[in-house]
Amino acid sequence: MANVKLNNKILLEKLQAEITLKLGKKISQQDLLDKSIEFVYKRFDEFVSEHIDHPPITNELIKRIKETAIDAPLEHLEKTDDELLYRL
């Protein structure tokens, strides 16, 4: 199992306490995180549209990206994208 660093450990503990009070029984932090992930996964589009701050993609940003893009020749024509990316 992988270890995950939490930036909001205190908030997780508060949420755990509130759920414990509401349910009348303690839920482990692991179970709480698992249920939270399932909840977000089922409502993925809603989560992405409302809960993640991202810079707006403006016409100016698109223009800047196009202006700074370069068309460089490929060095290894015999290799696939996966081979180049993952050094296969």
Determine, yes or no, domain membership for 21.
yes
pLDDT per residue, tens digit, the chain (88 aa), is 567 788 888 999 999 999 999 999 999 999 999 999 999 999 998 888 876 677 788 999 899 988 888 877 777 778 887 887 787 5
In a domain, 23, yes or no: yes
pLDDT computed for residue 47 by the predictor: 86
**Residue at 64 is within a domain:** yes
Check residue 86 and give its pLDDT: 80
Question: The domain containing residue 25 runs over which residues?
Answer: 9-69
Task: Work out how many domains the chain is built from and give that number.
Answer: 1
Handedness of CA 24, 26, 29, 33 (dihedral sign): negative
> Is 19 a domain residue?
yes
* Residue 62 resides in a domain: yes
**Does 4 reside within a domain?**
no
